Amino acid sequence: MTRYITLAYGDASATYRQSLMLLVSLAAHAPEPSEVVVVTDRPDRFVWFGTRIEIDYLDAGRLERWRGPNPFSMRHKLELARASIVSGRQEVVLLDADVLARRPLGPFIEKLRAGDLFMHKREYILSETRRVGNRKLWRELKKRGFRDDDGMWNSGVLAVPSADRALLEEALNMYDELGADGVRHFATEQLVEGVVLGRTGRLKAAEDWFTHYWGNKSGYDAEISRFLADAFIDGLSVKDAAERYRENPIDLPPEVRPTPLQKLRKRIGRV
């Protein structure tokens, strides 16, 4: 049994549109047996899926406990990943709302069952980065014994077999130790996951099977809005919508970098 999990909470409509599209893409490409779980404080947004998904209600108290005493990053994603691994389940795949399955996931699941670990992709080696903020982070981490080959990985996809639950415990401990030591970084959650999983030698990139469009949300959200509007107007079932997505996937660049003119306008706007 493969368990796919996504987290959707708050009031932003775009988050729920993106979550719905993620679920459609899983319906299109995830092989059976599988289970899809949505952790949310707005279960009413997902009634279209009926019994195809499970709803795990997220109340404010639970979210606050998951965030912990130093909520400077997405610590609650780590807590969710750890809590989602249940004895007897072969693998857990945690997906951000702004992710889409892009092709049949059978080969991905086979690799996961064979012992591979997955995050979306490696962004950079910590010791080799040249960005000022990243260099500052590396200096702090180097003093704490981090290795020259440790990498920063994108955690839009996080896939772990149940046998490796202890790795998530280790990542949580590392997160909390860094927080207690005064290290603050917006990507600490994915930092500790990439470091702990990467040191096993089994961590692989999932970008062949998933698109994480964090760098082009506006472009994808426009296409998602059109897709869902057409699906609802046409009265499609989830099964029919999944078939439509298989035949006509959303295929945009996952990241769009600002042009020099856009950067200049942004600077001027700050003055």
Per-residue pLDDT of the chain (271 residues; tens, 9 = 90+): 899 999 999 999 999 999 999 999 999 999 999 999 999 999 999 999 999 999 999 999 999 999 988 778 899 999 999 998 876 667 999 999 999 999 999 999 999 999 999 999 999 999 998 889 889 999 999 999 999 999 999 999 999 998 999 999 999 999 999 999 989 899 999 999 999 999 999 999 999 999 999 999 999 999 999 999 999 999 999 999 999 999 999 999 999 976 656 555 656 665 5
Helix (H) or strand (E) holding 35: strand 34-40
Six token digits for residue 258: 């600002």
Q: What is the DSSP string of 222-241?
A: HHHHHHHHHHHHTT--HHHH
Superfamily of domain 2-270: Spore Coat Polysaccharide Biosynthesis Protein SpsA; Chain A (3.90.550.10)
Six token digits for residue 97: 């709302």
- Order of all β-strands in the sheet with 2-8: 54-57, 34-40, 2-8, 91-95, 151-161, 117-125, 203-205
Tell me 31's DSSP state. Answer: P
Listed in sequence order, the residues at least 6 apart from 79 whose beta carbon sits closer than 8 Å to its beta carbon are: 65, 66, 68, 172
pTM: 0.93
Other C-beta atoms lying within 10 Å of the C-beta of residue 200: 12
Tell me the H-state helices in the chain: 13-29, 60-67, 75-84, 106-113, 132-143, 165-180, 188-198, 217-233, 238-247, 260-270
Amino acid identity, position 59: D
Q: What is the CA radius of gyration of the chain?
A: 19
Distances (CA, A) of 21 to 14, 152, 155, 225, 250: 11, 27, 19, 9, 10
